[in-house]
Amino acid sequence: MPLISKKGNAMPESPIRKLVPYAENAYKQGKTVYHLNIGQPDIKTPQLALDAISVHSLTTIAYTRSEGSEAYRTKIATYYSKHDIHVKHDDIIVTTGGSEALLFTFGTIMDVGDEVIIPEPFYANYNGFSVASGVHVVPVISKIEDNFALPPIEEFEKLITPKTKAILICNPGNPTGYIYSKEEIRKLAAIVKKHDLFLISDEVYREFAYDGVKHYSILQEESLADNAIIIDSVSKRYSMCGARIGCLVSKNKDVIKTALKFAQARLSPPTLAQIASEAALETPQSYFDEVIEEYVKRRNILIEELQKIDGVKVAKPKGAFYCIVELPVTNADNFAKWLLESFDIDGETIMVAPAAGFYSTPGVGLNQIRIAYVLNTESLKKAINILKEALKVYKD
């Protein structure tokens, strides 16, 4: 029998999606499953984005330019200017989701065997993208006890080698909800300038900042023009996960020129989805105000209820809509399967994401889960009650 590649065998399963068969079996048993495992917002997509698809005048759904339509990129640049990020349309490549933007970035700036430093826990698919690109993740651990703040810069410097090509952050963070301060961004800026590295910032949750905290982008640091690469997406901002539209943004012309070759190889981003995404840029601020108010309400309920559970530790997120929760269990993976297979309250159970997959350091995060607070408040309360009652009877 022909053999699968070493790369294919090394590709990690998604900790977010790998338990889907267990959830499907729970459905077959007639159970209700509250999904705390995946960042699929229940917030409605802006109507003007939906209308743009239904009223378009296209007679042929043709390719767009490989870098995305100029009209859309120009409007993206205008959107950024409102956030004090000053770029031009030709600093932007439209991609099939933020995932493709990150793959293009890895291919553009790193060769096989090169290294990228990432504070962990981090978005689980960074592991997959790294394996697919032949790149090694070098983790620097942030801790729940410190609310997942940026580790000391000295910890980054210890890890830099001739193979190091970039530092990658997610800001606001998935899975922690942590937002890096202006001072932390400037510390990172100093280290990448000192060592001639790239700083990649996944900023797809830019709008989701709470408690008066302001998001600070790496492209607000003018000294980083040659070093900064932003990964972005419409998925969470406009509750358009299925549109699969993102972008790569950099003022470094060599980065854009090279990334464009990867974009040309896959031809073009989706045409109809770009039409919807361009329309979404006209979404009024009132939409975001209401969404943020809703997420703050959900976060407060979640944290308040989790803190009432014996043996549970949780860091309070300042952005995005995730948090890492430490449980009084040995193996959260086994616990998550047990919840779906063997536990329910009146026919209801929950699905969570084991957090070990959000680390690259072996053995770290085994007793942690990621919770996405994308459920309405009533469902969220039910879900946390199920977690509380499950922990009372669960045996490792």
pLDDT band at 326 (very low <50, low <70, confident <90, very high): very high
Report if residue 49 sits inside a domain. Answer: no
Q: What is the pTM of this model?
A: 0.96
Report if residue 166 sits inside a domain. Answer: yes
Report if residue 303 sits inside a domain. Answer: yes
Q: What is the pLDDT of residues 241-283, one digit of tens each?
A: 999 999 999 999 999 999 999 999 999 999 999 999 999 999 9
Residues 299, 265: one domain? no
DSSP string of 166-211?
Answer: EEEEESS-TTT-----HHHHHHHHHHHHHHT-EEEEE-TTTT-B-T
Residues 70, 183: one domain? yes
Q: What is the pLDDT of residues 59-80, one digit of tens each?
A: 999 999 999 999 999 999 999 9
For residue 14, what pLDDT is reported? 85
Gap between the Cα atoms of 306 and 291, Å rounded: 22
Q: Please identify, among 231, 253, 280, the residue that sits at the C-terminal boundary of a domain.
A: 280
Q: Please identify, among 247, 262, 280, the residue that sits at the C-terminal boundary of a domain.
A: 280
The mean of the pLDDT values for the chain is: 96
For residue 281, what pLDDT is reported? 98
Whether omega before 46 lies within 30 degrees of 0, making that bond cis, reads no
Residues 247, 294: one domain? no
Report if residue 298 sits inside a domain. Answer: yes
Where in the sequence is the domain holding 188, given as residue range(s)? 59-280
Q: Residue 341 is part of a domain; what is its CATH number? A: 3.90.1150.10
Residues 250, 104: one domain? yes
For residue 56, what pLDDT is reported? 87
Q: What is the pLDDT of residues 136-152, one digit of tens each?
A: 999 999 999 999 998 99
Domain count, the chain: 2
Residues 133, 274: one domain? yes
Report if residue 52 sits inside a domain. Answer: no
Does 13 have pLDDT greater than 90? no
Residues 263, 146: one domain? yes
Residues 80, 22: one domain? no
Q: Residue 70 is part of a domain; what is its CATH number? A: 3.40.640.10
Q: Please identify, among 280, 305, 335, the residue that sits at the C-terminal boundary of a domain.
A: 280
Does 302 have pLDDT greater than 80? yes
Burial profile 111-133: b = 16 or more Cβ within 10 angstroms, e = fewer: eeebbbbbbbbbbbbbbbbbbbb
